[in-house]
Structure 1
Amino acid sequence: MNVTFEEALSSLEKVVETLETGDIPLAELVKKYEEGLMFLKICENQLKDAELKIQQISQDNTQTTFNGLE
């Protein structure tokens, strides 16, 4: 599934709202819970990817700065 972080987060929030109402049959509740976990995993993976990119950029910038000072 190719969705942006914002789309996955929005979908996750909608699932949580649906689950919190408690007005859905058990089978639907289980299905929504499963959907929620899928969107949560997408968000977590995209956050991890962003964190790794930021760390890489920071390391590259630090190395450039130190190399410029030598």
Structure 2
Amino acid sequence: MKSFIALVTREVRLAWTGGGLWLPIVFYLAVATLFPFVTGPDKALLARTGGGILWIAALLATLLPIER
């Protein structure tokens, strides 16, 4: 368990110093903010699709720092 915590700490430190920490967060927040504007004010549609879109946005946001 200690090695896992050390690995996570190292990766977060590398992301923080490398400048790649904020891009996925900003991307996720942009998708979460803009999706209701794209679909319109239909609450039923937002309720059905909102959770899936948030998961897809989170998965896509995790792909952004892979190249680094």
TM-score, normalization by structure 1: 0.36
Larger RCO, structures 1/2 (Cα 8 Å, 6+ apart): 2
TM-score scaled by length of structure 2: 0.37
- Give the number of the structure whose alpha-carbon radius of gyration is greater: 1
